[in-house]
Amino acid sequence: MARLILDNIHKSFHGEPVVKGLSLTIEPGEFVALLGPSGCGKSTILRMLAGFEPVSGGQIIHGADCLSSARQHVPTEDRNFGMVFQSYALWPHMSVKDNVGYPLKVQKINVAERNKRIQEALEIVQLEDYADRLPAQLSGGQRQRVALARSLVTEPDVVLFDEPLANLDRHLRATMEETFRAFHKRTGATIVYVTHDQSEAMSLADHIAVLNKGQLVQWGTPQELYATPKNTWLANFIGRGSVLNVEAVEPQQYINSADLHRLIAGYSPQKITSNVLVRPQDIVFVDASTDASLDSLEVSVRNCIFRGERYDIELTLDNGQTLLAYSDVPMTLSSKCHVRLGQAWSLESES
């Protein structure tokens, strides 16, 4: 097991840059997600890791080996990286066991060893009883599990996933997330997982690289990205919450309730302003009539949406900005109420 380093990676197609100076250090056995909106360069990065695309600049290092640089390009088959694609990429005319064993056949591994490893891989993804079926006789989730089994028969150091759940329905996605978690635990492989779905990345990964327009916006654990996003774009991309425009304040710090209420009151479009993030769980409804000592803001209810376990309440502040809060009970549209904002996180403006 070795560390995987992306060192100042650049990639251009026909002179058009699509990955711009990406640097990441991925520790052995880590589960890393590359997360970002469509077109931000995630798949291109994965394809460079796999060796399908050369890099335009920078280098990819695995342990002591340089896999890609301006001068060097180790071919895909010599990288010993497993791969799982959105489209499964199974051979339709081959049985499940032949699909799973195909990489071993290419490596000219003998039949007895091949059968042993196929059996083990099918056990990991719980498809032992489906070994003789054709892909067309399987569900989408089962096909993806065949692809998963195939990716691990060669006992790779690194497994690359390109949006593996994108074709599956919501229910099946949850089950497959569990399969991936178990797969990671059992194999200990380093995983690089491309997705545009933030909840998938948050629930699976140890570290997430959030990308936008070919650049790294932030690298951190799911908890760090949620609690301390770098800028307004990322705050809007990860989790739910409200970005408020307030009186100017230093970025990248927590703001307590009293200071936050003061900054909101001090907001004026004529002055220099800052953005702060308020998460819905930090908003508390208070009864200002019975507890006058409580510092609170008057708001009006703009929208109330039933979400099963709770209501999403959209509130409007005095200055016209909106806030998302949660409530256990429904609230009347246009009614006035008071809230206390427990804390906020101040954001950098986007460059």
Ligand X SMILES: Nc1ncnc2c1ncn2[C@@H]1O[C@H](COP(=O)(O)OP(=O)(O)OP(=O)(O)O)[C@@H](O)[C@H]1O
Least separation in angstroms between CB 164 and ligand X: 13
Q: Compare residues 38 and 223 and give the one whose CB is closer to ligand X.
A: 38
As a whole number of angstroms, the distance between CA 140 and CA 143 comes to 5
Q: Compare residues 19 and 176 and give the one whose CB is closer to ligand X.
A: 19
Q: Compare residues 45 and 125 and give the one whose CB is closer to ligand X.
A: 45
As a whole number of angstroms, the distance between CA 313 and CA 225 comes to 24
Which residues are 81's β-sheet partners?
158
**In 3D, which of 16, 3, 5 has the Cα closest to residue 214?**
16
As a whole number of angstroms, the distance between CA 264 and CA 244 comes to 8
Burial 48-80 (b: 16+ CB within 10 A, else e): bbbbebebbbbbbbbeeeebbbeeebeeeeebe
Least separation in angstroms between CB 156 and ligand X: 21
Least separation in angstroms between CB 240 and ligand X: 22
Angle at alpha carbon of residue 121, lines to 204 and 62, rounded to 5° = 60
Q: Return the H-helix or E-strand segment holding 98.
A: helix 96-106
One-letter amino acid at 105 equals: K
- DSSP for 307-321? -SSSEEEEEEETTS-
As a whole number of angstroms, the distance between CA 79 and CA 62 comes to 9
Q: Compare residues 44 and 273 and give the one whose CB is closer to ligand X.
A: 44
CB-based contact 194:31 (threshold 8 Å): no
Least separation in angstroms between CB 131 and ligand X: 32
Q: Compare residues 86 and 273 and give the one whose CB is closer to ligand X.
A: 86
Q: How many CB atoms lie within 10 A of CB 113?
A: 10
Least separation in angstroms between CB 217 and ligand X: 13
Structure tokens, 205: 């990964």
Q: Compare residues 42 and 207 and give the one whose CB is closer to ligand X.
A: 42
Give Cα 25 distance to the centre of its chain: 17
Q: Compare residues 14 and 307 and give the one whose CB is closer to ligand X.
A: 14
Q: Compare residues 39 and 266 and give the one whose CB is closer to ligand X.
A: 39
Least separation in angstroms between CB 30 and ligand X: 21
As a whole number of angstroms, the distance between CA 88 and CA 146 comes to 8
As a whole number of angstroms, the distance between CA 194 and CA 321 comes to 35
Least separation in angstroms between CB 78 and ligand X: 22
Q: Compare residues 37 and 330 and give the one whose CB is closer to ligand X.
A: 37
- The residues binding ligand X (CB under 6 A) are 13, 18, 36, 38-44, 196
Least separation in angstroms between CB 172 and ligand X: 20
- The dihedral region occupied by 51, where left means phi > 0, alpha psi between -120 and 50, and beta the remainder, is left
Least separation in angstroms between CB 49 and ligand X: 12
**In 3D, which of 195, 93, 200, 90 has the Cα closest to residue 147?**
90
